[in-house]
Structure formats: structure tokens, C-alpha cells
Amino acid sequence: MTDEDNDRYRAPALDKGLDILELLAGVDGGLTQAEIARRLERSPNEFYRMLDRLVKRGYVTRIDGDRFSLTLKLFGLAQLHAPVRRLVSFAVPLMRTLAEASRQAGQLVVFDRGNPVVIAQQEAPGYWGISIRVGSRIGLFDTGSGHVLLAFRAPAERERMIAEHVGDSGPDGRVTAEFLARLDLIRTRGYEMMPSAQTAGVINLSAPVLGADGTAVAALTVPYITLINAPAAPDISATIQLLTQTAGKLSDMAGAGTGTHA
């Protein structure tokens, strides 16, 4: 489709509403109407009616009188997506068992619109653990989940994922021969083990949840920390075994017809 075609089918009001939602999704504490207009480089008057409709439809709420913030309505709509909801329903009991056995937290991650996204989170059963909010969009190149989602995809699908992730800035310099060799290693051994690029002292352990075609529909990840005050907790080797066993069980369920694989 050409730029001329794109302009022909523009829907300015829809674009304006989506601009507001996308902006509010990236801030904490909300924004005033003036702040929204300034960040979107538009006049404040242009957003009055749109904000009023978004509030009345329940997508946006007022806080502290004059600030606007997203509600959970979009999140709730996303959870209605049947394949994701079904995958989470299968995963949660297994993730709970994994957390109890390993004494570690865990996350279930899928690829969505350019980024790995956390769709389920299980807290560690003890006092200590690394958690990440459901709905968080994380890195593709610098996380164990991202590596696994790339490693267990066909080359053409992998290229599409990377292109979606880098967007207009591509091609990306991180897709080196060394990086591709790393993905091959992950695929061969069946899991990723790497120091966290975000939190010191954490080792990300990640294993694929495979669909019937052998493609990763999700990544099951344990942000492993050494529990000094829990000497009976499994070591990292035992935790990897627990993780891959759990991912295998979930893969059996996913391959049996969750409908999540491409």
C-alpha cells in the first residue's frame, strides 16, 4: 500500500484516540489534558471530546481531579483472547508447582507485536524472588525469554519477529553471527541460561513451550537467584531440570490444541 493509499483511508478521530491510549500506557501517574496535548504536539482543545468519550467508555479514568490514566479495561479485553487465556489456564497450576519445587518465581512470556510480553507471573513461595508485572513488554535480544522465542522459530518467522521489534530503525546490529550461533545452541540444548541484563545476581533460565509443529508458542522463565537463607532449595542445575520438565508438560498441552501456535 502506498503513502497515498494510507492517507486516503486515514481515520483522524480513531488515530487521535489510539495516540492517547498509547501515550498513557507508557506513563505512571497519568497526565493532564495539557500534558497529553504537549506530548502529542497538538492543541489541548483537540483532545477534550476524545478524552471525555474514553472516560465514559471506561478506557481512561480521572485521577487527582485533572489527570487522566488508563484503566484495566484494555488489559481485560486482551485476556479475552481465547488462545492466550487457555494457555494461561493450563500454565498457572504448573507454574505454581514449579515455584514450590524450585523456591523461585516464574513467568510465562509470548511474542506480541514486536516484543516478548509477560502473560502470567508466579511469585516465589518464600520471602525472596524476582517478579515482573503481567503485561510487561520486555527485550527480545537481552532476555532469556526473547532468546528462546527466537531460537525455536523457523528462520523466516525469526526474521519477521526481529523486523517487528526493530521497526523503522532496522536492520539491527545485534543480529550477528555470534548471536545466531547462540540461538542454535539454545535450540540444541533445549533451554537458555544467561545472566540477567537488567538485575545483578540473577540468572535467567528459560525453556520453550512448543506447539504441535515444534515452534515456540511461549517461553517459561525462572529468574534464578541463590537463596542463602534456604539451603535446602534446589541448585541451578536441579532448577533447570524442573523448568524443562514443566515446559515439557505445558508443551504437551499446547500441542494438544491450545490454538496458540502459528
Over residues 59-115, the pLDDT tens digits come to: 899 888 789 998 877 766 665 567 788 889 899 999 999 999 999 999 999 998 789
What is the reported pLDDT for 253? 86
Domain boundaries, the chain: 3-71, 77-255
127 exposure class (CB count in 10 Å sphere: 0-12, 13-18, 19+): exposed
| N residues, the chain | 262
The domain defined by 3-71 folds into: Arc Repressor Mutant, subunit A (1.10.10)
Read off the C-alpha cell for 76: 481485560
76 exposure class (CB count in 10 Å sphere: 0-12, 13-18, 19+): exposed
- pLDDT beneath 70: ranges in the chain: 1-9, 75-81, 168-172, 230-231, 255-262
Cis peptide before 155 (omega within 30 of 0): no
What is the reported pLDDT for 154? 87
* Alpha helices (H) in the chain, listed in sequence order: 3-8, 12-25, 33-39, 48-56, 73-79, 82-102, 144-151, 155-166, 177-189, 236-255
| Cβ atoms 206, 144 nearer than 8 A | yes
* Superfamily the domain 77-255 falls into: GAF domain (3.30.450.40)
